[in-house]
Amino acid sequence: MARLRVGVLISGRGSNLQALIEAARDPAYPAELVTVVSNVPGAAGLARAAAAGIPAEPVDHKAFAGRAPFEDALTAVLERAGVELVCMAGFMRIVTEGFIARWRDRLINIHPSLLPAFPGLDTHAQALAAGVKLAGCTVHFVRPEVDHGPIIGQAAVPVLPGDTAEVLAARVLEAEHRLFPHCLRLVAEGRVRVAGEVAEIEDRGRPGPALINPPTR
Ligand code: GRF
């Protein structure tokens, strides 16, 4: 079976990229990473891609006279690599409607909250301030409204007494590293369909019991 050709957009550390790299090492995984682009030159994630033998290059947004020409350059790199699906993995640029329309339902993002709660920046501080007892992450199709769009999958983790934003972020990040490869697999297997503005998952199985926090003992 041909594997889905995936391009990954990053801005920094690239630990989610690394999780996708590890998943795609398995020849049976239905997606392959064919290019990685960072809007930040020197981002650590570029070195991770290079170490895995994946073509990787910076496209510095600061070198362009606006979002649209920057995104045209991104699309040119992605098209040259024959990309069929784009993953935003810690990509810290807002994208325009034009870019989203070009990649409609072929552009997915990971956000470190249980959307629609806490979109935008400082999500972990927002979650702590709200006193929620469960935090988590979401993989979703990208729509023009920031951190909105049909939800493919979510992972929940408990918020624990004494959590700081940093501690909570680390707990959520571990969940991100499991969720993103899982969601990419579902998409690559052709099991995700957007109906209206809801993502429907074919043959999805049943999750475990509820995660209750505080625990029932
Ligand atoms: C992740 O928490 C991601 O959800 C958020 O930015 C962080 C990127 O981390 N959008 P990394 O670059 O994947 O390590």
Q: Is 40 in the pocket of ligand 1 (CB under 6 A)?
A: no
Model pLDDT, residue 51: 98
Q: Is the pTM of this model over 0.85?
A: yes
Question: Per-residue pLDDT for the chain (217 aa), expressed as one digit of tens each?
Answer: 799 999 999 999 999 999 999 999 999 999 999 999 999 999 999 999 999 999 999 999 999 999 999 999 999 999 999 999 999 999 999 999 999 999 999 999 999 999 999 999 999 999 999 999 999 999 999 999 999 999 999 999 999 999 999 999 999 999 999 999 999 999 999 999 999 999 999 999 999 999 999 999 8
Distance 16 CA to ligand 1 centre (A): 6
Distance 46 CA to ligand 1 centre (A): 14
Indicate which residue of 61, 111, 124, 177 is catalytic.
Answer: 111
Work out the angle at residue 135's Cα, subtended by the Cα atoms of residues 85 and 91, and round it to the nearest 5 degrees: 35
DSSP letter for each residue of 17-51: HHHHHHHHTSTTSSEEEEEEEESSTT-HHHHHHHH
> Which of the listed residues 110, 146, 174 should we mutate to test ligand 1's pocket, taking the one with most ligand atoms within 8 A of CB?
110
Shortest-distance Cα residue to atom 5 of ligand 1: 90
Nearest-10 crossing angle of helices 44-51, 15-24: 10
Model pLDDT, residue 150: 98
111 given a catalytic annotation:
yes
